[in-house]
Amino acid sequence: MTEPVKDAVAVPAAPTPRTNGRPATQFVRPTFAGLQRPSNGSINADESNSAPHPAAQRDPSRFAPRVAQRRFIASAFAALCLVATLIGVVVLAALLIDIFRDGASRLSWSMITGFPSRFADRAGIGPALAGSAWVLALTALFAFPLGVGTAIWLEEYAPNNRWRRLIEMNIANLAGVPSIVYGILGLALFVRVMSLGRSLMAAALTLALLILPVIIIASQEAIKAVPRTIRLGAYALGATRWETIKHQILPVALPGIMTGTILALSRAIGEAAPVILVGALGFVAFIPTNPSDQYTVLPFQIFNWVSRPQTAFHEVAAAASIVLLALLLSMSAIAIWLRNKYTRRS
């Protein structure tokens, strides 16, 4: 794979330009029983047979391959690409180190379970963590069935017509809509029109719509990957379409669907922009106990603390970021574990 990079004088130069050398050897095509040429080139009656074949004119001096120089450029480019790739790694390291250096000292059990406070050294993330957990559960509750249902319909039921293409195009476009626009939708639709107010419910519905396209696309991929033979086998036993899906397709596709859903949910948990619009609060001094309660979530709490001028609050924000990152990383780890566990089998 790696070609040795050497100063290349390389292969010896051809002794002489070779066209002017020997005359072309006489050549009698071998003929054997059963192996004759089908015809005598009549199919190919263009220039190659009618005219003398244009001879190769070889003159090495017309080429300046400068291999050593090109090798150097190639290595320099490879190094450049590697450096570019490592920039991502370095920044990630800088970010993690920065957050840990600022926040590790503030990390404690009382900080994780405590309530927010006007005094940075007493501020905790209890309500924010509880809010995030609520939002996680409610969002999953709405988005999972809707997303998987849509994917099943698109993959197993929908006729391949304009309506289906419209829905698929629509989903692709929704995936590219900025998250804050979902926040605006949530503000107008859930907070105002449906009068849910600044509640956990409004936040969860908004985030469910936000991650719906992601779940749909991931579930479609998982369902598509189920071998066709499984379907045919089930149909051949007299199963209806839904029986086939429920008993044969979904069990096989489920790990893929779960992986996609978990990753989508981890995105919902990390989002701050939409919940700003649907009314998360910067100061919640109670643990929410039902979906109509007012709330805050971890990213919003971090945002709130970062925006304050006091350095002490920045430290709490960093500590809260560590908790958030740990939460998200463990969700990704579960997703990756699921993916690896089930892809290895097939």
Partner 1 sequence: MTAPRASLPTPAHDSRSWGEIGLEKRHSNERRIGILLIAASAVSILTTVGIVAVLVFESIGFFAEVSVWEFLTGTRWTPLFESKSFGVLPLLMGSLLVASGAALVALPIGLASAIYLSEYAQDGVRRVLKPVLEVLAGIPTVVYGYFALLYVTPLLRTVWPNADIFNAASACIVMGIMIVPLVSSLSEDAMSAVPRSLREGAYALGATRFEVATRTVVPAALSGIIASFLLAISRAIGETMIVTIAAGATPQMTLNPLRSVQTMTAYIAQTSMGELPHGTVEYRTIFAVGLTLFCVTLLVNMVSGVVLRRYREVYE
Partner 2 sequence: MSEAIRNPAGPVELEARELSVLYGETRALKYVSLKIPDRQVVSFIGPSGCGKSTLLRCFNRMNDLIPGVKIEGEALFQGRNLYGTGVDAVDVRRRIGMVFQKPNPFPKSIYDNVVFGPKINGYKGDFSELVERSLRQAALWEEVKDRLEANALSLSGGQQQRLCIARALAVEPEVLLMDEPASALDPIATQKIEDLIYDLKQDYTVVIVTHSMQQAARVSDHTAFLYMGEVVEYGPTNELFTNPREERTEAYITGRFG
Interface residue list for partner 2 (CB under 8 A): 1-12, 14, 18-19, 22, 24-25, 27, 29-30, 32, 35, 37-39, 41, 43-44, 46-49, 53-60, 62-67, 70-71
Supply the DSSP symbol for 245: I
CB of residue 36 vs partner 1: minimum separation in angstroms? 33
Select 38 or 176, whichever has its Cβ closest to partner 2: 38
- State the chain's maximal CA–CA distance in angstroms: 101
Select 158 or 252, whichever has its Cβ closest to partner 1: 158
Please give the span between the terminal C-alpha atoms of the chain, in angstroms, as a whole number. Answer: 30
Contact yes or no for 264/343 (Cβ under 8 A) = no
**57 interacts with, out of partner 1, partner 2, none, CB within 5 to 8 A per kind:** partner 2
CB of residue 309 vs partner 1: minimum separation in angstroms? 10
Amino acid found at 140: A
**180 interacts with, out of partner 1, partner 2, none, CB within 5 to 8 A per kind:** partner 1
Select 75 or 289, whichever has its Cβ closest to partner 1: 75
Q: Which one, of 276, 163, 162, 147, lies nearest residue 222 by Cα?
A: 147
CB of residue 231 vs partner 2: minimum separation in angstroms? 33
Quick one: three-class SS letters along 165-229? Answer: HHHHHHHHHHHCCCHHHHHHHHHHHHHHHCCCCCCHHHHHHHHHHHHHHHHHHHHHHHHHCCCHH
Calculate helix-pair angle for 200-224, 179-186, nearest 10 degrees. 130
Select 22 or 118, whichever has its Cβ closest to partner 2: 22
Select 130 or 317, whichever has its Cβ closest to partner 1: 317
**45 interacts with, out of partner 2, partner 1, none, CB within 5 to 8 A per kind:** none
CB of residue 344 vs partner 2: minimum separation in angstroms? 22
User: What 3-state class would DSSP assign to 11?
Assistant: coil
Select 40 or 232, whichever has its Cβ closest to partner 1: 232
CB of residue 55 vs partner 1: minimum separation in angstroms? 21
Report how far Cα 146 is from the mean position of its chain's Cα atoms.
Answer: 21
User: What 3-state class would DSSP assign to 60?
Assistant: helix
**257 interacts with, out of partner 1, partner 2, none, CB within 5 to 8 A per kind:** none
CB of residue 249 vs partner 1: minimum separation in angstroms? 13
Contact yes or no for 308/117 (Cβ under 8 A) = no
CB of residue 338 vs partner 2: minimum separation in angstroms? 30
Select 9 or 89, whichever has its Cβ closest to partner 2: 9
Measure the CA–CA gap between 246 and 27, rounded to whole angstroms.
Answer: 71
**6 interacts with, out of partner 1, partner 2, none, CB within 5 to 8 A per kind:** partner 2
The tokens describing 148, both together, are 């998987």
**149 interacts with, out of partner 2, partner 1, none, CB within 5 to 8 A per kind:** partner 1
